[in-house]
């Protein structure tokens, strides 16, 4: 049997038997409680680590126990995990989905088993998909806000510093570090940040848009190569999250920028602990708090409400809802209000 066929046979065996190829972690005592199956896209992601820790802590004394799995940023692994959770007949499914094309089939499976399904911190199912089942919800940060915050921070820097136009061409030449192709947060941050700069009356020029998978190491390597090729042209670096912004900062430092060298403003999103340290250090210009505590607690609140048979509304959840979308707000963070990033 060839290797591909063998792994296919193994994975289908695992799915049928409800076994997880990558293991599953339990949180909360499941005795007498309903269980929510979680499919996180990548345990190695800084923001996801914080959010899932919050949900797991909520489950310790909460009414719903958890069974959590890691897709390791791999769509096949995600499919294995979700199928294994359905095979185990969990009572709720929460998915940090990396394959929007599969949303409809996931909703159909939840419908077949008559269990609620929550899409969290990911691209929403379409409005038609959301309407296809009464027990489907989408919980997400209002990602356009984080783009606007980045755009405003860079515009403000540009207007306040006459030397911000490093090559003097009258345009803000920028690099965009993209998190994930086709991901809602990523798309909104990429588009809305630049739209805001333009709305602020600044002409822009995109030097390069680079896909870095939300990862610090990838951002560092890619920025290092752009710096080597046309470092003198870069006026600003936009990163869809703090991890990638920190990778850019590492590359800048290694090439003699920042500190005593030329300054290039870098903006991120999340206000992770390390992101906030970089703001304190003066290497990260601005970020916005994408609060993993709010995300984790909101997810668990929705599970609790569902468990108690309560309605899901703006009032009961404590967040803004449009239809079945539950939106979480960002807070702009600069060196002037670092204390607001505490969670």
250 binds ligand BGC (CB under 6 A): no
Tell me if 107 contacts ligand BGC by CB under 6 A.
no
Contact 39, 81 (CB under 8 A): yes
Out of 45, 58, 235, 250, name the contact with ligand BGC by CB under 6 A: 45
Q: Which of 121, 155, 291, 334 binds ligand BGC (CB under 6 A)?
A: 121
What six digits make up the tokens of 253? 């430092």
Q: Check binding of 36 to ligand BGC (CB under 6 A).
A: no
Select the residue whose beta carbon is closest to ligand BGC and give its number: 241
Contact 220, 247 (CB under 8 A): yes
Cβ(80)–Cβ(21) under 8 Å? yes
> Using CB under 6 A, which of the segments 29-37, 40-48, 52-60, 104-112 binds ligand BGC?
40-48
For residues 99 and 115, what is the distance between their CA atoms, to the nearest angstrom?
20
Alpha-helical runs (H) found in 88-133: 103-112, 127-131
> Which residues sit opposite 39 in a β-bridge?
69, 95
Q: Could you tell me if 246 and 216 are in contact, meaning their C-beta atoms sit under 8 angstroms apart?
A: yes
Least distance to ligand BGC, CB of residue 62, Å: 23
The H or E element that residue 19 is part of is none
172-178 and 204-211 beta bridge pairing: parallel
Running DSSP on this structure, what letter comes out for residue 192? H
Among 137, 157, 214, 238, binds ligand BGC (CB under 6 A): 214
Distance CA 215, CA 243 (A): 6
Which residue's CB is nearer to ligand BGC, number 64 or number 269? 269
Per CB under 6 A, 92 contacts ligand BGC: no
Question: 252, 223 in Cβ contact below 8 A?
Answer: yes
Q: How many residues does the chain have?
A: 343
Binding of ligand BGC at residue 341 (CB under 6 A)?
no
Between 270 and 309, how does the x/- string for binding to ligand BGC read (CB under 6 A)?
Answer: x-------------------x-------------------
Neighbours of 49 (CB within 10 A): 15
* Binding residue for ligand BGC, selected from 144, 185, 235, 250, defined by CB under 6 A: 185
State which of positions 139-178 bind ligand BGC (CB under 6 A). Answer: 141
Q: Which member of 48, 130, 175, 223 binds ligand BGC (CB under 6 A)?
A: 48
Among positions 50, 83, 150, 241, the unique one binding ligand BGC when judged by CB under 6 A: 241
CB of residue 150 to ligand BGC, shortest distance in Å: 12
Binding site for ligand BGC (CB under 6 A): 41, 45, 47-48, 121, 141, 179, 185, 214, 241, 269-270, 290
């Amino acid at each position: 049997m060839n290797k591909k066929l063998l792994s296919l046979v193994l994975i289908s065996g695992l799915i049928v038997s409800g076994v997880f190829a990558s293991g599953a972690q339990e949180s909360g005592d499941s005795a007498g409680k309903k269980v929510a199956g979680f499919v996180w896209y990548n345990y190695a992601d800084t923001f996801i680590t914080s959010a899932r820790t919050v949900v797991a802590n909520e489950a310790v004394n909460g009414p719903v126990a958890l069974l959590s799995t890691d897709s390791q940023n791999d769509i096949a692994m995600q499919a294995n995990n979700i199928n294994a959770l359905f095979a185990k007949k969990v009572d709720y499914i929460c998915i940090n989905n990396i394959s929007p094309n599969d949303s409809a089939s996931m909703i159909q499976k939840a419908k077949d088993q008559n269990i609620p399904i929550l899409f969290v911190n990911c691209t929403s199912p379409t409005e038609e998909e959301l309407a296809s089942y009464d027990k489907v919800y989408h919980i997400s940060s209002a990602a356009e806000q984080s783009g606007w915050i980045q755009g405003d921070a860079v515009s403000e820097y540009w207007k306040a510093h006459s030397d911000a136009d490093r090559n003097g061409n009258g345009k803000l030449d920028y690099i965009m570090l993209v998190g994930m192709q086709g991901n809602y947060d990523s798309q909104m941050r990429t588009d809305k940040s630049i739209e805001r700069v333009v709305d602020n009356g600044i002409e822009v020029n995109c030097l390069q848009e680079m896909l870095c998978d939300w990862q610090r190491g990838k951002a560092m390597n890619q920025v290092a190569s752009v710096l080597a090729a046309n470092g003198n042209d870069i006026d600003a670096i936009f990163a869809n999250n703090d991890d990638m912004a920190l990778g850019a900062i590492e590359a800048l430092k290694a090439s003699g920028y920042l500190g005593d060298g030329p300054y290039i403003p870098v903006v991120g999103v999340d206000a992770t602990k390390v992101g906030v340290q970089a703001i304190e250090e003066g290497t990260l210009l601005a970020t916005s708090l994408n609060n993993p505590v709010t995300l984790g607690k909101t997810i668990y609140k929705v599970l609790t409400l569902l468990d108690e048979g309560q309605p899901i509304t703006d009032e009961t959840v404590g967040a803004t809802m449009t239809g079945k979308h539950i939106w979480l707000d960002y807070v702009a963070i600069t060196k002037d209000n670092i204390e607001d990033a505490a969670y």
